Structure 1
Amino acid sequence: MTKPVAVLYVVEGDSDRAAALDRDGIDVDTATPDAVERAGSYDCIVYEPATIDGDDRNLDGALRAAYPDVPVIRVASTGAGEPATDATRADRSTAADRLAERVRAVAGGRAGGPPQASDERDGDRLAALFENVGDPVVRTEFVDGEPVVRNVNEAFERVFGYEADRLLGEPLNDFIVPPDERESAKRLDDRAVSNERIQGEVRRQTADGIRYFLFRAVPIAPDDPTGNYEGFAIYTDITERKTRERRLEVLNRVLRHNMRNNVNVINGYAELLGADAEPQLVERAARTIRRTADDVASLTAKIRDIERAVDGGGRRPVELRPLVDRAVEPYRSAADVTTAVPDGLVVAAGDGLELAVENLVDNAVAHNDTDVPSVRVDARRDGSWIHIAVSDDGPGIPAAERVVLTGEHEITQLEHGSGLGLWLVNWAVTSSGGEVTFADNDPRGSVVTVRLPAASPPPDAASD
């Protein structure tokens, strides 16, 4: 005789679904949420919260701690306390029948019988694919509209830098979605629970900083009537490709624009230098040609700096205070420069960070229209991140410049940025896993903030 599927049904009070499963030949034990403990051997656990919007994360973790090898199905509340109508009774009956089918499938059998060999092979293949695929993959279950981690593969641990034990049972977005991406991530989640297959480029937080990914969402059981959405999220790291493409696009447009203008100036003045040219004209043309040639040389030097900033080796611990002191020193004679960088701040960054800070200060001084430019460099730690802010009292960075640099606007022929200094900053910081943000200073000027991963844990974490 075939052994019936054994289910632990966790619910506050009575449940029509638990009774229906029992009538369907499934061996059902019930327990209240405050009395969950290891008390038997089960093929599956079903959890029905008392309310739809109840916070059941602690219980969810307790269930998985008590029964780590037992699959858990979370079902929406049936609203058992509400008056039943013929329609709601029919709906509940259909949902209960389909839940019984799902319980048997999840528990490893079909209609109370042993699993078919093909089902076992399919499960083995899926497990092998999950573990061995080269891209990060996370299996999630949506709890109150939020994706909760059920499993991750080794590639996810390696690329995102979070160990599986730290993630299991926790909201995925709390770990990998940057604060400024929360709204767009919520929109993706809403589309996912509608059983829509999703693909697109996203920015995500890793333990080592911000990276770009091609994101794909694949539902596991799109026809599940319980509202218990589960799915796979697959992330392909495209950071290097995206950075390289954007760098080539910017350099191409800026070089074409600047070189064309400079060549036109040189050719125009060279045509004036005939044998009968007046001495004053020759002198003026010569000065202009020399100045334009210097601009070309400066541009090529800036391109070399960009190569050093982006390709200058991997990240390493960098003590921030001496770096800032070196970066601001050349500008103290031309501006009122102050710094507030505490000792002991160490960032994880590439060799381009010093060039980035130097270019921020240079930009603040060079484009300032006051008699004595005022520039301030502050740094502070916020958890696992270090923020470096460069403030000035100049005319500010135009909005068109900001949106192009931050990627919020596509680069066009006329919107390529006024120079390469801020592009160097952006690439140097993003190649170190950080990001650059812009704000207005009060009462005048700009604040450019660089956020980079700290090279060591926060003091409170280090002392644990």
Structure 2
Amino acid sequence: DQSRVIQGTLERLQSSLVDAETGERGYLLTGKAVYLEPYISATTIYPTLLAELERLAGRDEEINEDLTQLKPLIVERMGSIQNAIERNKDQGPAAAISASDDGKRVMDQIREVTGRLRAGVAARAAVIDAQAGRRTAIAFVIAFAAASLSVMAFFILYRAVGGYHRRRDKAEHELRDTNALLQAVIQDTDDWVFIKDPNGRLLLVNPAICKAFGKSPEDLVGKTLPEYIANPDEAERIRQHDLRVLSTRQSVRTEQTITIDGVTRTQLSTKTPRFDATGNIIGLIGISTDITERKEAERALEASNERLSEMVEQRTAELTELTHYLMRVSEDEKARLAAELHDELGSVVTAIVLDAELVLKKLKATAPQLVERQQIIVDLAHQAAGLKRRIIEGLRPLLLEQFGLVTALKDYLHQWTATTGITPLQDFPDNAVALAPDAALALYRVAQESLTNIAKYARASNVRIELRQSPSTIVLTVEDDGVGISSEALGRASSHGIIGMRQRVAGFGGTLTVSAGRDNRGTRIRAELPLQGAGGTA
């Protein structure tokens, strides 16, 4: 009978979907791929069964209409199972179980459609049976033929019903095996597995929880948090976490501490809401993993990093202080040397110049032929005096001490222009710059080093130097349009000039930045000092 074949095919189809759903749950709870075999089998079976149903339906509009609704629902359910499996791999069991729970709605719709199909087919089978009865009654007149047909009909029905019961018994047996396996996994894991009702009462606990609290399952089942967690603050925090899971209807993962017998342990707890067939929340399911050792290792690593950071900061401060000390010693030594050159060599050179000029005057009257040579000696003496002055200015700019930073910079730029042939664009304030002498010297050295680097390496055509003062800071900028400096060169330990400039500025709480110039050409050196730490008049 075609109706019964359709019913049998529907039973096989629904059985394969139940097997796939059961395998999905087993895989999500255990993570073992062996539970996916029913799902894999179902993916190959259900298209064949659907095609068989379409063939059996023929031109029956009602059955075809139900099959049209059934096919996308099955595809959607199989897709939700695949989605849950992929989430389990990428995001973990909690997200996967949440995705799996969404498939319950689809499965309920599948059961509704298949139920309607079975009811319709059963009705058609009843009609067919009624017709067969009428035919049997007519054929009963022909006694032997009617009896034979009745026996055959009974035999066919018996086999159909027997096949149904065998399939149902097989499905129930497989479901019992799956449940037994899930129970074995829950019983053997070291993680805490528990189920609570909406009021927070424990409905199920695994041996790991019983072992942790030193209680039997009977002592824990039916208890609320305050009844088995001694610390009321911990119990309240966990209760609030449970309420959040129930109110948001979403899985939540959080760290929580639980003190048992005076020992505080840290748990990574994942909880997901538990729904009934109608979608109402009937509690929550939770899995907690003890991560106490991991947290202790993290705290130890953090403490070690803090100690290391403190040591680095201390060493950096010591090296910075040493650098500043060496710079001060160097500047003091330069000042001492400049003073000696001015006092000792200066008087000698001055005497040579005066005597050479006196001799030149006398030679004009007594030995004219020696005047030219003596003029050369006078010029060399004047050059020596100028060299002496430049050396002294390089060691300790006297103009900086006597007239301030702006005047000293202008004088140095005049000398630099005479040497390089490049006339920098200058932008200086008209009034005196409010800087202490040491801070002014630091900015002077930055400008000196920057201009020296431009002359040596930049191959620049234009140079701009600017000094700006605000109520809180003073900024020196030296910029050129040359070849620039690479980031690799800036990071080299051998970049002593830049490192020295940065240390000088840092000694007064300032910053020095090196970047590309305008239109990404050349180099811009920018030194900024706070007036709070570098104030004075320069």
Q: TM-score, normalised by structure 2?
A: 0.28
Larger Cα Rg: Structure 1 or Structure 2?
A: 2
Structure number with the bigger relative contact order (C-alpha 8 A, sep ≥ 6) is: 1
Q: Which has the higher strand share?
A: 1
Q: TM-score, normalised by structure 1?
A: 0.32
